[in-house]
A and B are shown apart, each in its own frame.
Chain A
Amino acid sequence: MNRLLNWSPSWQWFHRLGSPRWFYQASGRWLPWLSLLALTLLLTGLVWGLGFAPQDAKQGNSFRIIYLHVPVSFLALAGYYIMAIAGAIGLIWKMKLSYMVMKAAAPVGAALTFLALFTGAVWGKPTWGTYWVWDARVTSMLILLFLYLGILALQYAFHSNEAGNKASAILALVGTANIPIIYKSVDWWYTLHQPATIKLTSAPSMHPDMFAPLLVMIVGFYCFYTVALLLFTRAEILRRERKSVWVRELALGGPAL
């Protein structure tokens, strides 16, 4: 078995990445820097967006919610891909760590999807005159929240970790069909929700003075997402590997790593 794993040096990183112990050790080194970066970016973006970005001509100050709503929604969707891809890697290569990442991505994604809906609702009141509409974008985001919650619940519905992992990964993969629907919902259906402000393929439909802090917030939220995902994964590693020697040494405060 060992010879098989060491067969090709170019695959070593892949197997090392699959080792929960290595991941726990490495992520412990990344976390302080990532957290500092996330905190700096989010603080800068928030102060800039709330206090210094110019007012929107039509929506007035309520538009400032965009600085939370858009980045949070981005990560709610991107997080689903991360969860589904982690599940797929787990299914294909039977990688334990990959399932742990998938499991960690569910609560983080659910929390961010809830925030996307919540910030959307309090933005909707002064802009649309209502907190909630059953339109295509809002409804498909609600389905995303239920998918995340379903994957969380499915993990606990099975006695064996193995079966729970597989079922969750399959549900996550099936659920990816919802993501393009969410993206395209504002174009396909007549909806109250405004079309995308930022597209990769064209210039943003937003003044640069308003766009710059939004970009800072989006990058900041990517860093924050990574921090949260790493922390949840580490908690899951400790739970699943509690019988292993290195976790026992770590628990006793010994030289585990």
Chain B
Amino acid sequence: MKFQFENITQLFVMDGHGVFVWTAVLVSLVVMLWLIVKPLADSRAALKDVSGDITRAALTRGDA
């Protein structure tokens, strides 16, 4: 197994195909990152909502 390009610059240029290959890579990485970050942020927001509700309920009851 050997590295197919003479240097790192060639890896990015890929004989003129680099712009297509690296666009595909970049967009894929962004979408994949969104698939991880979005549900984590949603979970966090849901838990924050619940704890906020509990605190508010306690305050209105006057036992906080």
Give A contacts to B, CB under 8 Å. 46, 48, 50-55, 60-62, 64-65, 68-69, 72, 104, 107-108, 111, 114-115, 118-119, 122-123, 125-126, 209, 224, 227-228, 231-232, 234-235, 238-239, 242, 247-248, 250-252
Contacts and interface: CB of A to CB of B under 8 A. Distances in A.
A56 B14 CA distance: 12
A152 to B, nearest CB: 13
Given A51-B5, A61-B17, A61-B18, A228 B23 contact: no
A61 B2 CA distance: 15
Interface residues of B, number: 35
B5 to A, nearest CB: 7
A228 B40 CA distance: 10
17 contacts: A50-B21, A51-B4, A53-B4, A60-B14, A62-B14, A62-B20, A118-B24, A119-B24, A119-B27, A125-B20, A209-B1, A224-B32, A234-B39, A235-B42, A238-B50, A239-B46, A251-B51
B39 A231 contact: yes
Contacts of A227: 36
Contacts of A231: 35-36, 39-40, 43
Main secondary structure of the interface of A (DSSP, over half): helix
B47 interface: yes
The 10 closest A-B pairs by CB, nearest first: A251-B50, A231-B39, A61-B14, A235-B42, A251-B51, A238-B46, A62-B17, A61-B17, A235-B39, A228-B35
Given A118-B27, A125-B20, A50 B36 contact: no
Main secondary structure of the interface of B (DSSP, over half): helix
Contact of B3 (A52, A68, A69): A52
Contact of B27 (A54, A107, A115, A248): A115
B21 A64 contact: yes
B46 A242 contact: yes
B33 to A, nearest CB: 11
A64 B2 CA distance: 16
Given A234-B43, A235-B39, A111 B2 contact: no
Contacts of A224: 32
A228 B18 CA distance: 29
Contacts of A228: 32, 35-36, 39
A65 B20 contact: yes
Contacts of B20: 62, 65, 122-123, 125-126
B64 interface: no
Nearest to A225: B35
Contacts of B39: 104, 228, 231-232, 234-235
Contact of A122 (B11, B23, B47): B23
B31 interface: yes
B15 A68 contact: no
A119 B21 CA distance: 9
A61 B15 CA distance: 7
